[in-house]
């Protein structure tokens, strides 16, 4: 896997890659978006802002639920576009601390949440086996996460 070239994440490149000129500005994506409903990201504004060369502020509020992708009549892959914008935001050091903490925990332990004695006790009570970290899986995970450079922010 090649490193992302930040130049490929320019508004102009993203607009071409995701065929944003085909957007009908119908608003179906925003109407269906659960995040928009609660004051978060507005997917139609993501498209509008990119075309206008303006920064979308709320990319980290997306739930990546893919509902907008389901309803878009011209098949613009908004969740993937937003993922690119998040990547750009992370490269610029703007990823919210909770995401960075989660990524670092994921890199270190293979999970994005702390799993201490309490978690072990609950699992035992539920009759679940103790959690294990597979060495090979962790090595592969480490490569993937470090290549994103997300954990270096």
Q: Which residues of the chain form contacts with ligand SF4 (CB under 6 A)?
A: 23-29, 33-35, 41, 43-44, 47, 62-68, 71-74, 76, 78-79, 82
For ligand SF4, give the closer residue by CB, 60 or 108. Answer: 60
Cα–Cα distances in angstroms (integers) from residue 8 to residues 15, 43, 67, 96, in the given order: 10, 21, 26, 22
Enter the tokens of residue 87: 């990547």
Give the H/E segment covering residue 92: none
Cα atoms in the Cβ-side hemisphere of radius 13 Å centred on 80:
11
Residue matched to tokens 């914008």: 85
For ligand SF4, give the closer residue by CB, 53 or 73. Answer: 73
Enter the tokens of residue 148: 């994103």
**Nearest approach, Cβ of 145 to ligand SF4 (angstroms)?**
22
How many Å apart are CA 110 and CA 75, to the nearest integer? 33
């Amino acid at each position: 896997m090649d490193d992302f070239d930040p130049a490929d994440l320019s508004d102009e490149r993203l607009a071409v890659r995701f065929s944003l000129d085909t957007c009908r500005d119908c608003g179906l994506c925003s109407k269906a978006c659960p995040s928009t409903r609660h004051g978060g990201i507005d997917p139609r504004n993501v498209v509008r802002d990119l075309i206008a060369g303006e920064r979308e502020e709320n990319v980290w509020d997306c739930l990546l639920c893919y509902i907008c992708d389901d309803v878009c009549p011209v098949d613009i892959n908004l969740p993937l576009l937003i993922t690119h914008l998040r990547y750009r935001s992370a490269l610029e050091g703007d990823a919210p601390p909770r995401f960075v903490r989660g990524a670092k925990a994921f890199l270190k332990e293979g999970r994005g949440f702390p799993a201490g004695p309490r978690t072990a006790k609950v699992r035992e009570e539920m009759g679940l086996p103790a959690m294990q970290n597979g060495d090979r899986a962790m090595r592969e995970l480490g490569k993937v996460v470090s290549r994103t450079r997300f954990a270096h922010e």
